[in-house]
Amino acid sequence: MVIDPIRYFRRRRRLMQEAEDEAFYLRRRFGEEAHRAALDKLQRPDLTSWGKQVVREAARLLEKN
């Protein structure tokens, strides 16, 4: 299997953009409890694998702040 570096880069950039958007939304909605809300959201069974990656990255971003 050959990994296309351009495709990987675009996918990673899209993941980071969506995670930043999710983190912004969670901060605006939950304030100081945004990180906890992200962790709670990760437990939802209806999230797709992409959604879990986005929320996991958003939680990582929120943990830093």
In tens, the pLDDT along 2-60 reads 788 999 999 999 999 999 999 999 999 999 999 999 999 999 999 999 999 999 999 99
In this predicted structure, what is the pLDDT of residue 13? 98
Give the residue numbers spanning the domain of 24: 5-64
In the chain, the number of structural domains is 1
In this predicted structure, what is the pLDDT of residue 65? 66
pLDDT over threshold 90, residue 1: no
What is the Cα–Cα distance from 3 to 42, expressed in whole angstroms? 28
Q: What stretch of H or E contains 42?
A: helix 34-42
Backbone angles phi, psi at 36, to 5 degrees: -60, -40
Q: Model-level pTM greater than 0.85?
A: yes
pLDDT confidence bin for 64, thresholds 50/70/90? confident
